[in-house]
């Protein structure tokens, strides 16, 4: 099936085996060969999905997943969480990424799990998170990765917005009936069926986060570290990585950072063989490698609020109760961040990149987005002060929250914060401040 894919630079005619893969061309052996599930109509919008010209490695991974889906390899629904979260694999059945469709988010209309449905039914007064834009979790996941990459934090697995389709995903009965009907018509009356824009199930838009191997929930390792002290060098490295998670969560105002949704990879010390020139007595301390530790900040779908929490719950950062949060920010994190965060041009570029990402959502609303950015700017303002004064993460979260709104008379891309932004603080606080 010939498909027209629109991109920012040109219009390309390609033939695809999957949802809307990278630019490639394939040819059918038979004129009337039935298309596979996963072939779709032209992609509308300003850009073509699943086309990442600036990141060919990521595009290749997405293409591997598309090929696997077309070959019939089904994604695996994660038993954890309260939404549709799927482990997608390549043709060798290796898990490549975690895919979270937009319409299967916790409060999405096609969420395959009943937990949030019961929440809405039994407790409608506390339903949802009023400070967040509904059904924007997939953008929040990709936005967190964007902020992580822009600031050089390196704690969020690369995440982008893609479109995929599989019979494993949760579709409405109407969509499944349409797909069956079109496929049957194509098989029996090819002359009619070839005029269909799409054969098969429609692609779902969602976040595509690369899978990380060897990691466990932070809660598991944190409990172990309470009983087994880390070596000094490893503890210092973990502290630096922890500070990066703190910075990420604070800037994007993550409302869902518990110790079960960020990951730690810890590899205990190992013994390496002596080289032929080493002496057993003189080099006895050099045969042991230091333990390796890494962190991954996943589950960033409940961030980028358009206001600070001010109703039922405060949604605190659970890492604030850890002993690492009482240690002042390090010189390393100051050197990494302060130069950029104090640069109004850098901050504006970051906001522009987030705008470019969020504006592709069908429900995008510019005034609401400006409120989201106002919250983020306020968070950045507090973070700069905390870094300058060498405060700790605990001190940071105790600072009065604020928003920085752009003044209406501001024209163009002038960036003097003191002139073009006005500061405001919430007038009320959440009813429950500890949960």
Q: Is the pLDDT of residue 40 over 50?
A: no
Angle CA(71)–CA(74)–CA(77) in degrees, nearest 5? 165
Question: What pLDDT is attached to residue 310?
Answer: 87
Nearest to 207 by CA among 256, 157, 166: 157
Mean pLDDT of 82-86: 91
Question: What pLDDT is attached to residue 29?
Answer: 39
Q: Is the pLDDT of residue 288 over 80?
A: no
Chain segment 46-57, per-residue pLDDT in tens? 334 688 999 999
Nearest to 44 by CA among 12, 17, 4, 9: 4
Tabulate helix, strand, coil % of the chain (nearest 5): 35, 15, 50
Query: Across-strand partners of 100?
Result: 207
Q: Is the pLDDT of residue 20 over 90?
A: no
Mean pLDDT of 336-357: 96
Question: What pLDDT is attached to residue 23?
Answer: 41
Mean pLDDT of 39-49: 38
Chain segment 115-164, per-residue pLDDT in tens? 776 766 676 556 678 899 999 999 999 999 999 999 999 999 999 999 99
Q: Are 124 and 112 in contact (CB under 8 A)?
A: no
Q: Are 90 and 96 in contact (CB under 8 A)?
A: yes
Q: Which residue's entry shows tokens 């300058």?
A: 388
Mean pLDDT of 393-410: 87
Beta strands 11-15 and 2-6, pairing class? antiparallel
Q: Are 378 and 403 in contact (CB under 8 A)?
A: yes
Mean pLDDT of 369-396: 97
Which residues, 6 or more positions from 104, have their beta carbon under 8 angstroms from its beta carbon? Answer: 83, 84, 110, 111, 112, 169, 170, 204, 206
- Work out the pLDDT band at 429, boundaries 50, 70, 90: confident
Nearest to 244 by CA among 324, 176, 140, 352: 324
How far apart CA 372 and CA 12 sit, in angstroms, is: 35
Residue 303 burial class via C-beta count within 10 angstroms: exposed 0-12, middle 13-18, buried 19 and up: buried
- Among 58-62, 114-118, 378-382, where is mean pLDDT lowest? 114-118
Question: What pLDDT is attached to residue 274?
Answer: 54
- Work out the pLDDT band at 419, boundaries 50, 70, 90: low
Question: What pLDDT is attached to residue 30?
Answer: 37
Looking at residue 39, the DSSP 8-state letter turns out to be B
3-class secondary-structure state, position 359: coil
Question: What pLDDT is attached to residue 420?
Answer: 79
Q: Is the pLDDT of residue 337 over 50?
A: yes
Q: Please provide the average confidence, as pLDDT, over all residues in the chain.
A: 83
How far apart CA 340 and CA 247 sit, in angstroms, is: 13
Strand residue runs (E) in 229-335: 263-267, 292-296
User: Which secondary structure element, helix H or strand E, spans residue 159, and what is its range?
Assistant: strand 159-164
Question: What pLDDT is attached to residue 117?
Answer: 67
Q: Is the pLDDT of residue 348 over 80?
A: yes
Q: pLDDT > 70: what percent of the chain?
A: 78
Chain segment 195-251, per-residue pLDDT in tens? 787 788 999 999 999 999 999 999 999 999 998 889 999 999 999 999 999 999 999
Mean pLDDT of 345-350: 96
Q: pLDDT > 90: what percent of the chain?
A: 60
Query: Which token pair is 352?
Result: 């522009």
How far apart CA 259 and CA 318 sit, in angstroms, is: 7
- Work out the pLDDT band at 37, boundaries 50, 70, 90: very low
Question: What pLDDT is attached to residue 278?
Answer: 58
Angle CA(76)–CA(73)–CA(108) in degrees, nearest 5? 40
Mean pLDDT of 271-283: 56
Query: Across-strand partners of 396?
Result: none
How far apart CA 53 and CA 431 sit, in angstroms, is: 47
Question: What pLDDT is attached to residue 290?
Answer: 78
How far apart CA 80 and CA 260 sit, in angstroms, is: 11
Q: Are 96 and 157 in contact (CB under 8 A)?
A: no
Which residues, 6 or more positions from 368, have their beta carbon under 8 angstroms from its beta carbon? Answer: 133, 306
How far apart CA 104 and CA 371 sit, in angstroms, is: 25
Q: Which residue has the higher pLDDT, 426 or 14?
A: 426
pTM of the model: 0.82
How far apart CA 349 and CA 399 sit, in angstroms, is: 26
Which residues, 6 or more positions from 269, have their beta carbon under 8 angstroms from its beta carbon? Answer: 231, 288, 289, 290, 291
């Amino acid at each position: 099936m010939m498909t027209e894919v629109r991109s920012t630079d040109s219009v390309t005619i390609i033939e695809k085996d999957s949802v809307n893969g990278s630019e490639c061309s394939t040819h059918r052996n038979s004129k009337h060969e039935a298309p596979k599930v996963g072939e779709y109509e032209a992609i509308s919008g300003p850009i073509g999905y699943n086309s990442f010209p600036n990141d060919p490695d990521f595009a290749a991974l997405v293409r591997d997943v598309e090929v696997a889906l077309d070959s019939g390899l089904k994604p695996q629904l994660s038993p954890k969480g309260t939404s549709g979260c799927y482990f997608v694999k390549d043709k060798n059945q290796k898990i490549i990424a975690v895919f979270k469709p937009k319409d299967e988010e916790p409060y999405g209309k096609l969420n395959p799990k009943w937990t949030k449905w019961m929440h809405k039914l039994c407790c409608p007064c506390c339903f949802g998170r009023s400070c967040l834009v509904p059904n924007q979790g997939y953008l929040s996941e990709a936005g967190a990765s964007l902020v992580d990459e822009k600031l050089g934090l390196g704690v969020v697995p690369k995440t982008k917005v893609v479109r995929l389709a599989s019979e494993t995903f949760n579709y409405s009965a109407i969509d499944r009936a349409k797909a069956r009907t079109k496929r049957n018509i194509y098989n029996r009356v090819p002359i009619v069926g070839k005029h269909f824009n799409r054969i098969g199930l429609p692609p779902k838009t969602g976040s595509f986060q690369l899978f990380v191997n060897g990691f466990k929930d932070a809660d598991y390792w944190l409990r172990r570290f309470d009983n087994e002290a880390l070596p000094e060098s490893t503890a210092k490295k973990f502290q630096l990585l922890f500070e990066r998670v703190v910075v990420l969560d604070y800037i994007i105002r993550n409302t869902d950072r518990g110790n079960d949704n960020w990951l730690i990879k810890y590899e205990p010390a190992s013994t390496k063989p002596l080289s032929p020139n080493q002496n057993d007595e003189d080099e006895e301390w050099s045969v042991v490698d230091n333990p390796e530790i890494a962190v991954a900040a996943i589950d960033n779908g409940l961030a980028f609020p358009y206001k600070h929490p001010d109703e039922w719950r405060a949604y605190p950062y659970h890492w604030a109760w850890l002993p690492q949060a009482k240690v002042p920010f390090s010189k390393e994190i100051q050197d990494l961040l302060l130069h950029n965060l104090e640069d109004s041009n850098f901050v504006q570029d970051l906001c522009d990149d987030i705008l470019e990402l969020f504006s592709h959502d069908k429900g995008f609303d510019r005034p609401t987005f400006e409120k989201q950015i106002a919250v983020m700017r306020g968070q950045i303002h507090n973070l700069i002060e905390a870094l300058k004064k060498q405060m700790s993460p605990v001190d940071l979260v105790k600072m009065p929250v604020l928003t920085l709104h752009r003044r209406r008379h501001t024209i163009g891309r002038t960036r003097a914060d003191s002139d073009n932004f006005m500061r405001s603080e919430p007038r009320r606080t959440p009813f429950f401040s500890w949960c």
